Amino acid sequence: MRVNETFLSLQGEGYFTGTPAFFLRLSGCNLQCPFCDTNHQSFSEMSEEEIVTEASRHKPRHIIITGGEPALQLTQSLVDKLHEAGFFVQVETNGTLPLPEGIDWVTCSPKGLTPSLSKGEGVQTINELKVLYKGIGDDPERFISPLRGEGMGLRLCLQPLDTGNAERNRIILRDTIAYIMEHPHWSLSLQTHKLLGIK
């Protein structure tokens, strides 16, 4: 399996913000988003057994599998091995590809209403919809209808887009808060790991 990096940290955004977790970042993505802030192209080969062994060296039993796009590589056997080792398995996906069964928490962060989402060819059941908000004129509601949640119910998180420009980010944050106040079914997601200066 092509692994970009593994590390121990706090979940920085979304529903589980502040939760200690082991991160498994898989290499590669099927989208080329111009605003992507993650270097996910380099990799080292790791077997599923090596991944489980590395994750098990740490106390948190919450693993976050991210990328890139993890659905390009994630297997049912790895999910099963992680469950056997006592892990709560969370996956962060762009929603364009199907995922293995039995994942405990699926966070979908769509980067566009792709044909696979609208036709139901991608991920079908998610727990958390985390939408990057670009400011006034953006319509996060368009992402809700193709997806459905189960278990605890679908959590809706709106996250201001990080443009790399402090003044533009300030405006987008203001607009995001204003949108949420008018559409209270959304909750604010901030990239707290950046604010804290951690990975």
pLDDT at 151 over 70: no
pLDDT at 197 over 70: yes
pLDDT at 67 over 60: yes
Q: Which residue has the higher pLDDT, 41 or 93?
A: 93
Q: Which of 6, 29, 93, 128 is catalytic?
A: 29
Q: Which of 17, 43, 58, 193 is catalytic?
A: 193
**How confident is the model over 175-185, as pLDDT tens digits?**
999 999 999 99
Q: Which domains does the chain have, with CATH numbers?
A: 2-196 (3.20.20.70)
166-175 in b/e burial notation, b at 16+ Cβ within 10 A?
eeeeeebbeb
pTM of the prediction? 0.90
Q: Which residue has the higher pLDDT, 146 or 34?
A: 34
**How confident is the model over 89-133, as pLDDT tens digits?**
999 999 889 999 999 999 999 876 554 554 556 776 789 999 999
Q: Which of 7, 35, 37, 49 is catalytic?
A: 37
The whole-number pLDDT of residue 12 equals 96
Mean pLDDT confidence for 126-148: 86
Q: Which of 7, 33, 49, 185 is catalytic?
A: 33
pLDDT at 144 over 70: yes
Asked if residue 99 lies in contact with residue 66, where contact means CB atoms within 8 angstroms, the answer is no
The whole-number pLDDT of residue 117 equals 54
**What is the CB neighbour count within 10 angstroms for residue 165?**
10
The whole-number pLDDT of residue 112 equals 66
Respond yes or no: is residue 33 known to be catalytic: yes
Question: How far is the first Cα of the chain from the last one, in angstroms, to the nearest whole number?
Answer: 22
Confidence at 31, pLDDT banded by 50, 70, 90: confident
pLDDT at 194 over 70: yes
Count Cα atoms within 13 angstroms, Cβ side, for 16. Answer: 21
Respond yes or no: is residue 38 known to be catalytic: yes
Confidence at 140, pLDDT banded by 50, 70, 90: very high
- Look at strands 2-10 and 44-45 and give their pairing: antiparallel
Respond yes or no: is residue 193 known to be catalytic: yes
